[in-house]
Amino acid sequence: MKRIGILTSGGDAPGMNACIRAAVRTALAHDLAVVGIRRGYAGLVTGDAVPLDRGAIRNIIHLGGTVLETSRNPDFYTEEGRRRAAEAIDRMGLDGIVLIGGEGTFHGASLLAAENDTAALVGVPGSIDNDVYGTDYCIGFDTAANCAVQAIDRIRDTARSHERLFFIEVMGRTAGFLALESGIAGGAEELVIPEEDLSIARISERIGAGFTIGKKSAIVVVAEGKTPGISFEIAKEVSERLDFDSRVVVLGHLQRGGPPTLRDRVLGSLLGAAAVEALLEGRSGCMVGEVGGDLACTPLEETWQKKKPLNENLRRIFLFLSE
């Protein structure tokens, strides 16, 4: 192992820069040459890479987003695109690549490795949705969850002042981690998450029960699911059932930006170093994560083939914490 590349792919997540920084410094400490592959798989296909030294990663640990930039590249979804990526890896003389991203990133990496004799590949989970199997938490989740909690706190002030029902929509296309944890931390009255069937009747009944015991406002946290903006439809139906004024706030990409929290900086640093160490140990086709406070390596195929479950204890306690 003499020369490695680092790329960030898919949606950006706060803490990716901390991960890049740690991976570069760990590689340099072991006398490895490092290049940064720009714009994720789009840059990998074209061989768009820049040298990374200590100067290149100085003063980036506190920055959101990714200094290497990212993308979702249609070419890489094709076998021809992946063949071109393998050829570019060979031209760049890479012995290993650290891939920072989510399910889609690791799915693509699995196909690249299966179809081509290429460099060693080690993944690092970066996703504000926190939906990657093989790690308790993904880089970016803590920052996004704190953003959502701050929004809930602010909205609660105006909800109470105007005696209104508010629906706050957070990200979470296929998983309700953000909605569940921010809902508990923000004291929400109800949740809408992909893991549970949507029931307008149940939501209306639970909120209505709160009004009968003296509540004058309420917060519902909604995971966007496969249809961002679904909160408007839900709010309309619940408001009509309860005959109560409601408003909708869609946080959207606000949750992705901003400086990473302490937790995401530390997690990014830990996993960035672990990914390079895994390459040095001769590992490939795996993702480094943190499970139960310990580092763990999970086969790339499992990271996107297996469904990561919500914390059942958190789901259980939400029911009576929200009453």
Residues with active-site annotation = 129
What are the phi and psi torsion angles at 198 (to 5°)?
-70, 130
CB 260 within 8 A of CB 143: yes
Residue at 167: amino acid letter: F
How far apart, in Å, do the first and last CA atoms of the chain sit? 57
User: Nearest to residue 23, comparing CAs of 38, 12, 36, 41?
Assistant: 36
Please, is 198 exposed, middle or buried when counting C-beta atoms within 10 Å of its C-beta (0-12, 13-18, 19+)? middle
CB 176 within 8 A of CB 312: no
What are the phi and psi torsion angles at 27 (to 5°)?
-65, -45
Please tell me the distance from the alpha carbon of residue 314 to that of residue 136, in angstroms, as a whole number: 14
SS3 204: helix
Nearest 10 degrees: CA dihedral of 15, 18, 24, 25? -150
Please tell me the distance from the alpha carbon of residue 19 to that of residue 125, in angstroms, as a whole number: 10
Q: Is 292 left (phi over 0), alpha (psi -120 to 50) or beta?
A: left
191 token code pair: 């949740």
Please, is 46 exposed, middle or buried when counting C-beta atoms within 10 Å of its C-beta (0-12, 13-18, 19+)? middle
